Amino acid sequence: MFLLGVLFAALVFFLGNKAVTATSTDEFCASCHIHPHSTQSWKLSTHYDNQRGIRVHCVDCHLPPHGEGYLVQKARTGMRDVWGKLFKDPESFNWEAKSQIEYAKTHTYQASCTRCHQNNFPLGLTEKGREAHLYYEDHADELQCINCHITVGHYDPDRLHDQNTSFGISETAPSEIYTEPGRVEGFSNFTEYIPGSSVSFEMVTVPGGTFRMGSPEDEPFREDDEGPAREVSISSFFMAKVEVTWDEYLAFYSQTAATGKTTDAYLLRGSSEVDAISGPTSPYGAPDQGWGKGNMPAITMTHQAAEVYCQWLTEVTGKNYRLPTEAEWEYAARGGTSTPYFFEGNPKRYVRQGLRNKIFGVDTTGINRYVIYAENSLARSNPPSAVQSNPFGLINMLGNVAEFCSDRYAPEAYGDYPEGILQDPTGPVSGDEFVIRGGSYMDDAAGVRCASRDYTRSGPWLKTDPQIPKSIWWYSDCTHVGFRVVCDYDEQMVSK
């Protein structure tokens, strides 16, 4: 009897091992993971084709090493994949979102990386690579290998982790070059032309007035830093109809970009005159994430870069361009309304929270017309034509990409203001981070309310920048923030 038990256990072990081996092949994985770009991008990667002839398989990255929870994770992953295969429509999967670092980190294992890559300083490693790996070793509690090497398993040409010296260089000559800026004819909408480029953009009037800044205490999803609500008076100003586009930002980049890391004055391209504004250095990778340039919102530049852009735009147009204050931004976003959004709608109906929404789904019939957010963005920014404008005629004030403000951030900022009606407040006088407003394609409906506040995170947004010192122009780990310009109005500027 004992012998039969031993033989039975051996048979179970043998068959179990055979089953584990059979279900760990690349072909078996692909039978459930049927999205073709997964296999195609793997075969283009250095994990498939490399100088040493080593081939890294699906389970080598997407399961932990044997003896470190391999079978447990394989069982969990297998049950999830079988459920998806049987009950989910693969056409409904958002592959764009699943390829983002936030998601990818949950489906790869650091232990699997270090099992093979045991030496961070192999022969032939470049100086930049040594600098990056030294930084990694000093921040191993914050970073995973995949933060920088996300393309080693699935190649993506838009995620080049190297200096992008060709960024912003166009091989097509523009059909028309503007020589004069736009003209202002009273307090009315106008078109701005960027001299020395073929780029123009629309500026919209925002008439001054008084509004209640912040959110009432009973507003759904209200955060503590949204109050106490304050009465604020705002002077009239102009605001860009849409977020600064890549066409606009690249006009600045092409005229000012510097090749070094210095913040000193640079020589304008094609000019012998020294200019006082330092332009951006070349970025790492593709700042547009492969989503497209043109009229898409410009992203990944730092708050400083946005401020320098405004200084440059002021210089070339003769008008005073700048980032909006937080108060101006909220006033413009509300468009004369006082509800959570500038359109009718209850935030509770738009989020994947609560039993009703989990059973019947999120109600997007109202919000989808005006906001690009987590439910309709496909995990990326969208062109301005995707939504309708607010009552002031401004597009994408909520969602799409969040927007820099000029104010420094403080959670208690509203309470620190003096009593009474505030006239054009400009925020705290000090602080390490800056306000960002509007929410983005990554946020749910709670984060795209008019009163919702957020702030820059300079350290985390530069985690994977391998340069020493890190760039002051480009965020390496922030793809959801852009900016919108405002222009001061006074009667003296008419016809300028």
* Per-residue pLDDT tens digits for 304-344: 999 999 999 999 999 999 999 999 999 999 999 999 999 99
Mean pLDDT score, 134-140: 78
3-state SS record for 319-383: CCEECCCHHHHHHHHHCCCCCCCCCCCCHHHCCCCCHHHHHHCCCCCCHHHCCECCCCCCCCCCC
Dihedral sign for Cα 29, 34, 35, 39, please.
positive
Contact 201, 296 (CB under 8 A): no
Looking at the structure of the chain, the number of domains it has is 2
Lowest mean pLDDT among 149-158, 336-345, 445-454: 149-158
The predicted-structure confidence for 26-43, as pLDDT tens digits, reads as follows 787 777 776 767 788 878
Do 245 and 145 share a domain, yes or no?
Answer: no
Lowest mean pLDDT among 183-192, 246-255, 387-396, 484-493: 484-493
Considering the domain boundaries, does residue 352 fall inside one? Answer: yes
Q: Which carries the bigger pLDDT value, residue 391 or residue 145?
A: 391
In eight-state DSSP terms, residue 162 is: S
The Cα 476–Cα 96 span in angstroms is 19
Considering the domain boundaries, does residue 160 fall inside one? Answer: no
The Cα 350–Cα 346 span in angstroms is 7
Contact 480, 400 (CB under 8 A): no
pLDDT score for 182: 96
Do 315 and 400 share a domain, yes or no?
Answer: yes
pLDDT of 481 higher than 70? yes
Considering the domain boundaries, does residue 179 fall inside one? Answer: no
pLDDT of 414 higher than 50? yes
The Cα 259–Cα 169 span in angstroms is 13
The predicted-structure confidence for 71-81, as pLDDT tens digits, reads as follows 788 788 778 77
Lowest mean pLDDT among 141-155, 192-206, 209-223, 250-264: 250-264
Which of 134, 155, 176 is a domain's end point? 155
Burial of residue 434 (CB within 10 Å: 0-12, 13-18, 19+) is: buried
pLDDT of 22 higher than 90? no
Do 30 and 138 share a domain, yes or no?
Answer: yes
pLDDT score for 393: 98
pLDDT tier, 264 (very low <50, low <70, confident <90, very high otherwise): very low
Contact 135, 466 (CB under 8 A): yes
Do 151 and 194 share a domain, yes or no?
Answer: no
Mean pLDDT score, 208-221: 97
The Cα 165–Cα 163 span in angstroms is 6
The predicted-structure confidence for 100-126, as pLDDT tens digits, reads as follows 777 777 788 888 888 888 888 888 888
The Cα 101–Cα 150 span in angstroms is 7
Contact 410, 176 (CB under 8 A): no
pLDDT score for 77: 79
In degrees, rounded to 5, the angle at the alpha carbon of residue 293 between the alpha carbons of residues 288 and 296 is 95
Considering the domain boundaries, does residue 174 fall inside one? Answer: no
Do 294 and 204 share a domain, yes or no?
Answer: yes
Considering the domain boundaries, does residue 67 fall inside one? Answer: yes
pLDDT score for 275: 47
The Cα 474–Cα 479 span in angstroms is 10
Considering the domain boundaries, does residue 176 fall inside one? Answer: no
Contact 234, 330 (CB under 8 A): no
Mean pLDDT score, 134-157: 80
Do 112 and 210 share a domain, yes or no?
Answer: no
Do 236 and 294 share a domain, yes or no?
Answer: yes
Considering the domain boundaries, does residue 6 fall inside one? Answer: no
Contact 467, 283 (CB under 8 A): no
Do 47 and 123 share a domain, yes or no?
Answer: yes
Q: Which carries the bigger pLDDT value, residue 250 or residue 263?
A: 250
pLDDT tier, 493 (very low <50, low <70, confident <90, very high otherwise): low
Do 254 and 362 share a domain, yes or no?
Answer: yes
Mean pLDDT score, 379-408: 97
Order across the sheet with 422-423: list the strands.
Answer: 209-213, 230-234, 422-423
The Cα 214–Cα 195 span in angstroms is 39
Residue percentage of the chain with pLDDT more than 90: 50
User: What's the mean pLDDT when you consider all of the chain?
Assistant: 85
Contact 290, 305 (CB under 8 A): no
Mean pLDDT score, 375-391: 95
Do 271 and 348 share a domain, yes or no?
Answer: yes
In terms of residue numbers, what domain contains 322? 190-493
- Provide the CATH number for the domain around residue 102: 1.10.3820.10
Considering the domain boundaries, does residue 63 fall inside one? Answer: yes
Of the ranges 1-5, 68-72, 293-297, the best mean pLDDT one: 293-297
pLDDT score for 274: 35
pLDDT of 252 higher than 70? yes
pLDDT of 359 higher than 70? no
